Chains A and B, each alone.
Chain A
Amino acid sequence: MVAAKRALPWLAASLRPISSTAAGSLPKQVKIVEVGPRDGLQNEKNIVPTQVKICLINMLSETGLPVIEATSFVSPKWVPQMADHTEVLQGIQKFPGVSYPVLTPNLKGFQAAVAAGAKEVSIFGAASELFTKKNINCSIEESLQRFSEVMHAAGEASIPVRGYVSCVLGCPYEGKIAPAKVAEVSKKMYSMGCYEISLGDTIGVGTPGSMKEMLSAVMKEVPVRALAVHCHDTYGQALANTLVALQMGVSVVDSSVAGLGGCPYAQGASGNVATEDLVYMLHGLGIHTGVDPQKLMEAGVFICKALNRRTSSKVVQASSRL
Chain B
Amino acid sequence: MGTVPSALKHCLSYQHLLKEQLWIGEPAAPPPALHPGQEFQISGLPDYVKIVEVGPRDGLQNEKVTVPTDIKIELINRLSKAGLSVIEATSFVSSKWVPQMADHTEVMRRIERHPGVQYPVLTPNLQGFHSAIAAGATEVSVFGAASESFNKMNINCSIEESIEKFEEVTKLARNMNIPVRGYVSCALGCPYEGNVIPAKVVEVSKQLYSMGCYEISLGDTIGVGTPGSMKRMLEAVMKEIPVSALAVHCHDTYGQALANILTAIQMGVGVVDSAVAGLGGCPYAKGATGNVATEDVLYMLNGLGINTGVNLYKVMETGNFICTALNKKTNSKVAQASFNV
Q: Chain A interface (Cβ within 8 Å of chain B)?
A: 19, 21-24, 39, 42-43, 74, 78-79, 103, 105, 124, 130, 134-136, 164, 166, 170-176, 200, 202-210, 212-213, 233-237, 239-240, 242-244, 263-270, 274, 277, 280-281, 283-286, 313-315, 317-322
Contact = CB atoms under 8 A, between A and B. Distances in A.
B115 interface: no
Interface in B239-290: 252-256, 258-259, 261-263, 282, 285-289
Given A134-B5, A135-B2, A314-B252, A236 B232 contact: no
Interface string B295-313: 0100110111100000000
B248 to A, nearest CB: 13
Nearest to A203: B14
B333 interface: yes
B262 A243 contact: yes
A314 B262 contact: no
Given A236-B258, A266-B9, 4 more contacts: A208-B42, A236-B300, A269-B333, A280-B255
A91 B309 CA distance: 56
A43 B4 contact: yes
A285 B255 contact: no
Contact of B337 (A239, A266, A286): A266
B5 A281 contact: no
Interface stretch (B61-69, B207-215, B220-228): B220-228
B334 A236 contact: yes
Nearest to B295: A236
Interface string B22-65: 00000000000000011011100000000000000000000000
Contact of B255 (A43, A170, A313): A313
Given A204-B337, A237-B299, A265-B11, A209 B41 contact: yes
Contact of A172 (B13, B299, B303, B305): B13
A233 B18 CA distance: 15
Contact of A175 (B1, B13, B285, B293): B13
Given A172-B11, A236-B332, A267-B341, A319 B285 contact: yes
Nearest to B36: A176
A197 to B, nearest CB: 15
A103 to B, nearest CB: 7
Interface of B: 1-9, 11, 13-14, 16-18, 20-21, 37-38, 40-42, 223, 225-229, 231-232, 235, 252-256, 258-259, 261-263, 282, 285-289, 293, 296, 299-300, 302-305, 332-334, 336-338, 340-341
Contacts, number: 203
Contacts of A315: 254-255
Contacts of B293: 236
B283 to A, nearest CB: 12
22 contacts: A21-B232, A74-B3, A171-B13, A172-B13, A200-B1, A203-B14, A207-B300, A209-B38, A235-B299, A236-B296, A236-B332, A237-B299, A240-B300, A242-B259, A243-B227, A266-B337, A267-B340, A280-B226, A280-B254, A281-B227, A317-B288, A318-B289
A284 B41 CA distance: 27
Contacts of B21: 170, 205, 235
A135 B13 contact: no
Which of B2, B7, B8, B300 is packed against the most chain A CB atoms within 10 Å?
A: B2
A19 B228 contact: yes
Contacts of B288: 314, 317-318
Given A135-B2, A207-B302, A280-B254, A22 B231 contact: yes
Given A239-B258, A314-B253, A270 B333 contact: yes
Contacts of A130: 13
A208 B3 contact: no
A237 B258 contact: yes
A280 B256 contact: yes
A314 B333 CA distance: 12
A209 B305 contact: yes
Contacts of A286: 228
Nearest to A230: B1
Contacts of B282: 318
A268 B231 CA distance: 34
Given A266-B337, A280-B254, A207 B4 contact: no
A166 B3 CA distance: 12
B14 A265 contact: yes
Contact of B303 (A164, A208, A267): A208
A171 B21 CA distance: 12
Contacts of B20: 175-176
Contacts of A170: 17, 21
Contacts of A175: 13-14, 16-17, 20
Given A173-B11, A175-B17, A239-B259, A209 B303 contact: yes
Contacts of B332: 236
B5 A208 contact: no
A318 B223 contact: yes
Contact of A239 (B11, B229, B255, B302): B255
B336 A244 contact: no
A208 B232 contact: no
Contacts of B289: 314, 317-318
A19 B195 CA distance: 15
Contacts of B296: 235-237
Contacts of A285: 226-228
